[in-house]
Structure 1
Amino acid sequence: MPHRNPLLESVFKIDSETDFNRIALSVFNYQYNHVAVYRKFCNALGRSTPKHYKEIPFLPISFFKTHTVLSDEFSSDQLLNFKSSGTTQSIRSNHFLALPELYVNSFMDTFSKQMVDPKDAIVMALLPNYIEQGESSLVYMVDHLVKVSNHPLSGFYLSDLEALIQEIQKAKQTKKKIILFGVSYALLDLAEKGIDLSQVVIIETGGMKGRRKEMIKEELHQILCDGLNVKHIYSEYGMTELLSQGYTDGTEYFTSPNWMKVVIRDVNDPLSLRPDGKTGGVNVIDLANLFSCSFIATDDLGVRKGNRFKILGRFDQSDIRGCNLLVN
C-alpha cells in the first residue's frame, strides 16, 4: 500500500478556480512521475511542465483499452478492475480501482448534492446488461446507493419489468423519493408498458448496447416522457474510465462537481482548446482519478457553458487514433 497521498484530502475540498488549478497541477506532477504510460505520452508531445491546467496533455481514452493506466505505487493484480460494457467482439477498457474510498467519496457527494441523499430515497435499477457482463463501475455505484438507502424496495430488477412495476406501486405509498436508474433500451421496454411513473425520478444511462436502434437524446427522452408520464428524464454522465459523474437538472446540461471539469478541444487541433459555447471534442479533468489518469480526451462531442456541459454525440475514431502511435 502506498504512503498516504496528501492530495487525497485536498481533491474533495476544492471550492475555487484557483484551488482547482493548483491541485490539478499537483495531480499532473504526481501522475507524470508515477503513471508510466502517461509520462511517455507527455514526453512524446513535449509537454511535461504545464503552468496551467489548460496546458496539461489529455490522454486519449482508448489507452485504457491498450495499456495499464495505473500509478506504480500499486500492483494491478491486487485491485478491483472495472471494465467497460461492450460486445463480445470489442476490447473493453480497464480501470483499476486503487482506493475504493476515492470512488465512493466522489459519487456519494455528487449524487447527494445533485440528486438526493440516498438515505432519503428508494433506489431501483434496471441495468440488465451491466449485471450480465460484470465488473461494472455503474453497478458498483448503484449497489452502494441501494445499500445506503437501506430500504427493502431498493435493488436491481434485471429484466423483470413486471416485478419492477409492482414494486414501484408499493414505493409510491411511501414518502421516499423514488430513483430509477435505467439503461436506455430497458427504459424503452418499460415505456411501451404505458405505465405512470410521474412520481419517479428516472436517470437514463448507458445507451442502446446494440439492443435497439440508436436515436438522438432528445428523441429518446421525448418517447420516455410520453410513455412513462414524466416531465423530465435525467441523465448521468459517467464512464468506466472516470471516478466522477455529472447529472442533468431537467435540461440537457450536465453539472460537474468541483473536482471535475470539462474542457472542449478543437477537433482538427487536439492540443488547442475551444472557448465556451463552441462545439468540439470533450476533454475531462477528473481529479478523483488520482491513481490512474485525471486528464482524458474522450470520444464525445460537446459544448461547455461554465461548469455545465452538453453532450452532442460521438465523433469518428480516426480523429484521435493517431495519438496512439506516440506511445508503444
Structure 2
Amino acid sequence: MDEKERDLYRKLPLEDVFEAIADFGPGEQPRSHREVLTRFYPDYPVLPIEFLKDDPAAIEEAFAEKPIHHFLSSGTTARDRSRSSFSVKGLKDYRDLSIKSFLAVLARFFPNPTHVPGLSMIPDTKEWPTSSLAQMIAWIDEEMPVNYWHDKLEAPSEPVWLFATGFHIVAFADEGGYFPLPPGSIVIETGGTKGKTRSVTRDETYTLIQKCFGVDKNHIVSEYGMCELASQAYDFVENPKGPDVPLHDRWFRFPAWAQTRILDAEQTIRKEGDGSLVIDDRARSDMKTPFRTEDRVTLKGDGSFQLQGRVAFSPLKGCSLLAEDILKNQNELLRNEKPRAGTYTKISDDELKLRAEKIHGLAQTMVKDPKFHKLVHKSLLLEKPVEWWIQDLKASVPQSVDEWIKAAHASQNQSPSWLIIPPRTHDFALMHPLFLASVLNLDVVVRETKETELLRYYQDLFEGYWTFSIVSSDWRLEEGTVLPAQSILVFGSDETIEILKDATSHPVQGFGSWITLSAIHVSTWDQDVWVKDAFSLRQEGCMSSRLLIVWDEETPKHLEPKTVKLGDLTQGEQLHLAHSELDLALHGFEVFKRSSTHDIVLAHKKYTPGETIEDLLSSRPLTLPIVRANRSALRELFEQITKNPSLKLLSVDKPTRVAAEPLKSVILRDIGRANEAPWTGWHGTDPLFFPED
C-alpha cells in the first residue's frame, strides 16, 4: 500500500467502507518459492496461509521494514501456531484501518459510533499478549470507552456494543449467565468453541446471545478475522430494524481495501463461485501477496461470501488426540479426582472360555452383517476404503476361541473399570479394546465419538450379555471430576499422553504417535498393492502408510504415472487435494497428473542424502509422497527408522524384506497388509490393559 492509497482509505466515509467494491490489480509474486507459486498461479499471485506457520522467517525476510511485533494464532503447541509479524508502518496501517472498519460497522447501528461505550469479553493484552484480537480491542479502547468483562460489571443504561468470542458466550450461558443489554445494543461474536467448551453451531450461538443478552438476531454481528490478516469481515444486516434475517441469507463483507477471490479444485482463481477463500488485504501492508486460506466459501461477484466450513480434513497425526480434547485445563494438576470404586477380580478359566465363545460368535456375526457394513460406509464414505477396511478387519479379528483367550491373557488387565477415549480421526481403534473388555467382563465407559451410530450398534450387538456406558464427547477431566472408571485408555499424541499422565493420579494406558511407511522394489510399482496400505481407512488410521519408498540398485529415474480413484469426493475434499498438490510441489515433489479432481494426489522425488523422513511426509490425507531411492539411500532411510520411536510399522514386498530384516524396532508386515492389526491383546508393542502407574 503506497501513501496515496493509504490516504484514500483513511479518508473514505464510513458509509462507503463496506459499500465500495475492492477492485485493484493483483498483488506481487512472493520471493519465497516464487518459481513453484508462479507455475501454479501465473495470473493472480497467491501465498498459502500455512506459510506463516511453516516458515514465517522466510516471509519476514521480504518485508521492506524490519518487523517489530508479532501475533500468534491459537494452537495447542508452538509448531501448530502461525506467526504474523508487522513493521512499525504495517502495525499502524493495521491499527488505523481495523478501527476504521469497526466504526463503519457501528455506524450501521448508532448515529455517533465513536461515542458508544463498549464491553469486551475478550481479555486484555496482558492476559492474551500474542492475540491480534486482544490487540484490536486495545486499539479500539484508545478511541472510545471500553469496559472489560468482570464479575462486578454494572448493567449499562444506554445502548452499548459487546464483543465476545463464541467460547466466552457458551461458557457464560452454561454458567446460567444473564446480562440484559439496553434496547438498541449489539453483540459482535467471533471465533469458535472447539477445545474450550462444548461445541455449538453458529445458529445455537445466536440463540444463546439472544437468551443471555436480550438482543434480537439483527443486532448480532459475526466477525471473520485471523491473526494473519489486518482486515476483518463482518456480516451485519442492511436493515437492523426490519424482519430478522436468517443466517443463510447473511453474507460477510470485507472493507474496500481487502479483495476476495476463490481458488477452485482445478487450481483456478475466480471472482465468484465455491472454493478456498483468497484474500488480498491491502491493510496488511508488509505483505504484497494475497493469502489462500483453508476456509471454504461461496463467493459472490460483489466480494461478499458465506463460510461453508473448513477445507476437508485436519492435518494427519495418526490416532491423534490433543490435550485440550481431554483436559478442561491442561496446565492444572488433577489430584482431587474421585475414581469410581471397585476391585478387579480375575474371572475363572471356565468363565473366560464361555465368554470367549460368545464374543467369537458375535464378532463373526458383525463382520458379515450388512448393517455394520452400511455404518462403515457412512463413516468412510468412499467405496475402496470401505472394501479394504472390511478385508483388514476380517483378517484382524481372532479366528478361534483359543485366539480370543490368548488375547485376553496377553492384554494383562489389572483394573476393574476403564474409560476408553478413542482418537478423533476415526472410531475403529476402540473395537479391539472394547471386544476384549467384553471377554474379560470389564466395566467400561466410552467417551462418545463422532460416529455415535457405531457405538449404539456395538451396544445392541452385546445386548443381554455385556454392556458399556457412554459419556458425552464434551466430557473433560477437571479438578473435582468424578472419574467414571479407575483407569484410562487413550489414543493420542505422545505429548497429550504425557500431559494426561502428569495431570492425573490415575493409571493411564496411552497409545501415542505412530507413523507407518511402505517400501517396495521398483518391480512391484505396477502391482498397486501399496495403494491399499496407504488409503485403507482413508489414510486416517495410524497404520495407514504415509510415505512410499521405491528403490532399485540404482535410483529409478522415473516412475510410470499412476492415477488412483477411491470414489467420488466432496467439494471440500477436492479443494483439500488442490492444496496438497501445491504443498508437495513446494517440497520438491513432481506431482503425477490427475485425470480428475476426484483422483488422490501422488507425487515423487529422488531421495537426497541427509533428508529426514519427517521432511518427506505429507500432513494431508489422501496424499502419498513417493521417494525414489537406491540401495544405499534405502539403508540410510532404514537407519532413520531405527532412531525414531514414532516410526513403528513398515510394510514391504519380498525383495525389500531381506533388507529390512535387521530392523528390530519396527513391526514388519507384507505389502498390502499394513492395516491388518491382529487383535492379540496388544496395540503395537504394548499390552492393551497394562497402564503405567
Same fold (TM over 0.5): yes
2:583 counterpart SS class: helix
Change (3 A) 1:293 1:38: farther
Shift of 1:308: 2.1
Q: Is the 8 A contact 2:277 2:295 kept in 1?
A: yes
Q: Is the 8 A contact 1:256 1:308 kept in 2?
A: yes
1:255 is aligned to 253
Match of 2:266 among 249, 265, 269: 269
Letter of the 1:259 partner, please give it: W
* Structure 2 residues without counterparts, runs of 5 or longer: 238-244, 314-575, 588-693
1:173-228 residue CA offsets vs partner (Å, 9 max, x unmatched): x4xx4111111111123333133235431111121141123332122212322333
Match of 1:67 among 33, 55, 65: 55
- 1:81 & 1:218 partners in 2: Cα distance? 33
Q: Is the 8 A contact 1:41 1:59 kept in 2?
A: no
Q: Which has the higher contact order (CA 8 A, sep 6+)?
A: 1
Q: Does 1:310 align with 2:302?
A: no
1:180 counterpart SS class: strand
Change (3 A) 1:130 1:222: farther
Q: Does 1:195 align with 2:179?
A: yes
Shift of 1:133: 4.5
Shift of 1:293: 4.3
1:96 is aligned to 85
Alignment of 1:85-164 (within 5 A): 85-88=74-77, 91-98=80-87, 99=89, 100-116=91-107, 119-128=114-123, 132-149=127-144, 151=145, 154-157=146-149, 160=150, 162-163=151-152
Match of 1:286 among 269, 275, 281: 281
The alignment's C-alpha RMSD in Å is 3.1
1:255 counterpart SS class: coil
- 2:77 & 2:71 partners in 1: Cα distance? 16
1:36 counterpart SS class: coil
2:71 is aligned to 82
Change (3 A) 1:63 1:102: same
Larger radius of gyration: 2
Q: Is the 8 A contact 1:122 1:146 kept in 2?
A: no
Q: Is the 8 A contact 2:257 2:282 kept in 1?
A: yes
1:225 counterpart SS class: helix
1:157-186 residue CA offsets vs partner (Å, 9 max, x unmatched): 3xx3x23xx33x1x32x4xx4111111111
Q: Is the 8 A contact 1:118 1:145 kept in 2?
A: no
- 2:130 & 2:267 partners in 1: Cα distance? 31
2:81 counterpart SS class: coil
More moved, 13-22 vs 192-201: 13-22
1:326 is aligned to 585
Shift of 1:62: 0.8
- 1:260 & 1:113 partners in 2: Cα distance? 15
- 2:214 & 2:266 partners in 1: Cα distance? 44
1:282 counterpart SS class: strand
Shift of 1:241: 0.9
Letter of the 2:234 partner, please give it: Y
Change (3 A) 1:119 1:37: same
- 1:236 & 1:82 partners in 2: Cα distance? 18
- 1:132 & 1:88 partners in 2: Cα distance? 18
Change (3 A) 1:302 1:19: closer
- 1:72 & 1:112 partners in 2: Cα distance? 29
More moved, 288-297 vs 113-122: 113-122
Q: Is the 8 A contact 2:23 2:259 kept in 1?
A: no
1:228-276 residue CA offsets vs partner (Å, 9 max, x unmatched): 321022111111111111212145322221111222332x22324263x
Change (3 A) 1:129 1:38: farther
- 1:86 & 1:255 partners in 2: Cα distance? 26
The two structures have a TM-score, normalised by structure 2, of 0.39
Change (3 A) 1:12 1:57: farther
Match of 1:230 among 203, 209, 215: 215
- 1:67 & 1:58 partners in 2: Cα distance? 16
1:298 counterpart SS class: strand
1:279 counterpart SS class: strand
Q: Does 1:185 align with 2:167?
A: yes
Q: Is the 8 A contact 1:299 1:315 kept in 2?
A: yes
Shift of 1:9: 3.9
1:113-140 residue CA offsets vs partner (Å, 9 max, x unmatched): 1224653121221124986442111111
2:117 counterpart SS class: strand
Letter of the 2:99 partner, please give it: M
1:215 is aligned to 200
- 1:190 & 1:41 partners in 2: Cα distance? 48
Percent identical across equivalent pairs? Answer: 23
- 1:215 & 1:44 partners in 2: Cα distance? 41
- 2:266 & 2:197 partners in 1: Cα distance? 34
Q: Is the 8 A contact 1:83 1:137 kept in 2?
A: yes
Shift of 1:7: 5.1
2:536 is aligned to none
The two structures have a TM-score, normalised by structure 1, of 0.78
- 1:130 & 1:216 partners in 2: Cα distance? 28
Letter of the 1:311 partner, please give it: L
Shift of 1:46: 6.2
